[in-house]
Amino acid sequence: MTDLTGKTCVVTGAARGIGAAIARRLADDGAHVVATDKNGPGVEALARDLGCDWARLDIEIEADWTEFAKRHRTIDVLVNNAGITGFEEGAIAHDPEKASLQDWRAVHRVNLDGTFLGCRYAIGAMRAKGAGSIINISSRSGLVGIPAAAAYASSKAAIRNHTKTVALYCAEQGLSIRCNSVHPGAILTPMWEPMLGDGPDRAARMAAFTADTPMQRFGTVEEVAAVVAMLASDEAAYMTGTELNIDGGLLAGSAATPTRG
């Protein structure tokens, strides 16, 4: 376990999935966690379970960040986790030819604008101490092209690059504010459930979705949270502007199917 005692850590998109696991892990490691989400009842329920603070925060709305900043003026860690795929309301066209400008912008408003606003807030909230850790959750999709999810891939790639810009800016300012990105691959979260189902063919569907992953399985939200906890801690004090992949080896170069026997 990492030691985050005395650190105030803000996590966006904490009502469920990866965000909830991150909030739980940081709390377990001794941090004072402020869990946020635009789903107020959902994040309040998590906060009751963890015994931490919570706030309703829609990351794409600048006024929400302004109000949040008034109540949380000084922090040590911000995890920009909240994001969308663009398919939350069902299967719609998100390829480069048929995607609408409205749908393209909607994904970027949440994923990219939300991360920009979060980073801007965090720099100001960490400047008094001159130190802190900003952790941006990007995606494997931010490192490769995704033909059927152009806006998602574009937004996550932009988060990767903005992370490096923030890291360099803070160093240039003489601040020990670190900024790193995390790139999960196929992580088993509620987002996958509609595709996996709960019938007798669930295992076969899971195997099909991870067939190209060398480790031949989904990752877990706890595995992502463990990497975030490390980046949040002082053990990662010399890491900034870097990216960490959590993808079961998918981006290592080529698929490597284990030999069975």
User: What is the token pair recorded at 225?
Assistant: 């949270």
102 phi/psi in degrees, rounded to 5: -60, -45
Q: Is 152 a catalytic residue?
A: yes
Q: Is the pLDDT of residue 164 over 70?
A: yes
Looking at residue 260, what is its pLDDT?
57
The pTM of this model reads: 0.93
Looking at residue 256, what is its pLDDT?
57
207: Cβ–Cβ under 8 A, 6 or more apart, which residues?
216
For residue 223, the tally of other CB atoms under 10 A from its CB is 16
Q: Terminus-to-terminus CA distance in the chain, angstroms?
A: 36
pLDDT digits (tens, 9 = 90+) for 89-141: 778 899 999 999 999 999 999 999 999 999 999 999 999 999 999 999 999 99
- Say how far apart CA 52 and CA 200 lie, in whole Å: 39
